[in-house]
Amino acid sequence: MKINYNKFLPLILISVSSFFLGAIFIITNENSPVTREVITAAENIIGLKFTEVQQDTMLGLLNDHLMNYESIRKINLPNNIPPAILFNPIPEGFNAPAGKSSFGLSDYSNTELPKNKNDLAFYSVGQLAYLIKTRQITSVQLANLFIERLKKYGPDLHCIVTLTEDLAMQEAQKADKEIAAGKYRGPLHGIPYGVKDLFDTKFYKTTWGAAPYKDQVIDEDATIIKKLREAGAVLIAKLSMGELAMDDVWFGGLTRNPWDTTQGSSGSSAGSAASVSAGLVPFAIGTETWGSIVSPSTRCSDTGLRPSYGRVSRHGAMALSWSMDKIGPICRNVEDCAIVFNYIYGPDGIDQTLYNYPFSYSPEINLKGMRIGYLDDDFNSPYPFKTNDSLTIIEIKKLGAILVPIKLPDIPVNDIALILDSEAGAAFDELTRSGKDVMLARQGKYNWPNIFRSSRFIPAVEYVNANRIRYLLIQEMEKMLNQNKIDIYLAPSDEGDNSLTTNLTGHPLVVVPNGTTDGIHPASITFVGRLFDEGKILAVAKAYQDATGFHLKHPPLFK
C-alpha cells in the first residue's frame, strides 16, 4: 500500500525520515529495495532487534516509505519554510502576564558630550539617545564615528561581513530630519547598530557565515530589521557569525575576542559580541539556540538578553531549530538590552510561534527580601568562574535578597538534545543532499556537516519521544520555581546543564559580566527568569550591575 506523503510531511521534515532505513538504502544502493539484510544492519543503529518474520512484514512499508521520501524531496523547501508542528513552552496552569506594557528609563540628564568624541564609542544607548534627543550630536555624526571604527578595527577582529554604509547614511539623514522636525521616535532614534548575518536585508548579502551561501541575497527585510527601522535605529553593519550558527569560525576566518585577540570571540553571535565589546557599534542583535548569546557575551564581557521563546519574531532569520531558536540584543549594559527589547518583541502577523504578552520594565527595584534561587550544586563544583560567581552571590545578599538553593529537574537533557540535531538536519536537508556541505570550513566530528548527515539516522519515534520528555521538563521547571517561591535564579554561565535546559524550556535569561578570571579574560553570571518575565530579570540584573560596575570596563586595545 502506498502511503500518502502529505499525511506525514511535517513529521518527516523535522526528523528527516519516519524510520530512516530508507536513508541507508539511498546511500548504499539507490536502485535496490530495502532487504532484510539492510534492516538487520539498521537495527544496530536504533538499538532494537526484530525477528525475521517481523523484518519480512516491514519490507513492504519500508519500500513504500522510500517512495514517499523521493516524492517529498521533489518539493522545494527553502530554509524559511517552518514545519506545521509548533513548539509550546507553556506549562500546565501557567499564569500568563496580564495588564498593559509599561516602560521606564533611568535619568540620563547628566550625560555630556565628551571632549574626545571617540569616547562616544563606549557610551550606552541611553546616553547616546539623550545626546541625540537634545541635539548635542546628530545621527549622521554617530554613524560616521562607528563606521570609521568598523573600518579601522573590523579587519583585526574579523567581525564584519558587510558594511551597510549607504543605507546607514540614508537612515541617519532621515533620523536627523525627523528629530529636527520634532518627530522623535524614542531612545533608538538615530542610534547605529549591527546585526548577526543571518537576518535578511534587502539589497545586501545574507551569508549565514557559510561558504555555500556567501553570495546569497534574499530580497526582503527580516521583521526585526523592520521593527528597528520603525524605531528609527540605523543599520550600519552585518556582523560575522559562526558558519550556520555554530562557534566563531566563518568563511572569513576566526572572529576575535577584543580582550585577547589570540582567542576567538566564541559564538555563534561572534561578530555581534566582538563589535559591541570593541566599541564598533552601540548594540547588536544576536540569536541563540544553545548558548549563542550567552557564550560570546561572556567571552567579550558584554551584557546579553536571551528572551523567552515566542517573544521576538524570527521571520527573515535563518532557521536552525524551529523549536529552540531565539533572538535577542547584545549591549553594553542591562538597560540597553531593555531599551532594544522594548522595540523588537511582540507578534508580527507572520511568525506563528509568538505570544502577545505585555512587557513591563522599570529601572527601580528593591531586592530586599526578594527570594532568588541559585544552582547550589553547580556553584559548588570546580569551574573557571567559581571565585567570580561566589563574589556575585555575596553581592546579591548585600543587596538584600534571600538566596535559596535549588536544583534543576532530574531529567536527562543532554540525551534529548537530539531535538536540535534533528531539526537542524531538516533545516539544511538540501545542503546535505547536494553535497555542498563539503564547502563548510569545519568538517570535524562535532561540526555541522557530520551532525547533519548523522541526523538522518534519528528515528522519528525517538524525536517525538524526546519532545514528550521535553514536555515533562517544562512541567518540572514550573514546579521547581513554584515550590521554591522564586521568580529568578542565578546560574553559572558556562557550567552544568542550565544553558541546555532553559533553551529547551524557553525560559529567558540575562548574562552580565562579573569580572575577570586573571585580570584579562572576562567572566559572567546568568540571571534566569520565568517565562515572559523579562522585565523582572532585567531589573534585578541591573541592580547587580549598577552595584558592581564591571560593565564599565573596556578592552584596552580598542579605546
Cite the active site residues.
196, 268, 292
Contact 263, 299 (CB under 8 A): yes
Angstrom CA distances, 280 to 333, 506, 554, stand at 15, 30, 12
DSSP for residue 345 = B
Bridge-based pairing state of the strands 371-375 and 360-361: unpaired
Tell me how far apart the alpha carbons of residues 137 and 176 are, in angstroms, rounded to a whole number.
Answer: 10
Secondary structure letter of residue 553 according to DSSP: -
Question: How many whole angstroms separate alpha carbon 95 and alpha carbon 98?
Answer: 9
User: Nearest CA to 474 among 253, 291, 245, 309?
Assistant: 309
**Residue 326 parent element (H or E):** strand 326-331
Which one-letter DSSP state was computed for residue 446? T
**How far is the C-alpha of 194 from the C-alpha of 228, rounded, in Å?**
11
What amino acid is encoded at 526 in this protein?
T
Picking from 479, 486, 488, the residue whose alpha carbon sits closest to that of residue 508 is 488
* Residue 209 near residue 240 (C-beta atoms within 8 A): yes
DSSP 317: B
Closest CA to 503 of 281, 320, 241: 320
Helix (H) or strand (E) holding 489: strand 488-492
C-alpha distances in angstroms, 405 versus 364, 369, 408, 508?
26, 15, 10, 20
- Position of cell 514546579? 479
Are 505 and 473 in contact, with CB atoms under 8 Å apart?
yes
Nearest in space to 385 (alpha carbons), one of 471, 295, 467: 295
In angstroms, the CA 297 to CA 550 distance is: 13
Are 188 and 233 contacting, i.e. CB atoms less than 8 angstroms apart?
yes
Residue type, position 93, single letter: G
Q: Angle, nearest 10°, between helix axes 5-15 and 418-427?
A: 120
Alpha helices in 101-164 (DSSP H): 125-133, 139-157
Interatomic CA distance for residues 16 and 124, integer angstroms: 45
Cα separation, 214 vs 206, whole angstroms: 7
Q: Contact 59/36 with Cβ under 8 angstroms? A: yes
Q: Cα(82)–Cα(107) distance, rounded to whole angstroms?
A: 43
Whole-number Å distance between alpha carbons of 332 and 344: 18
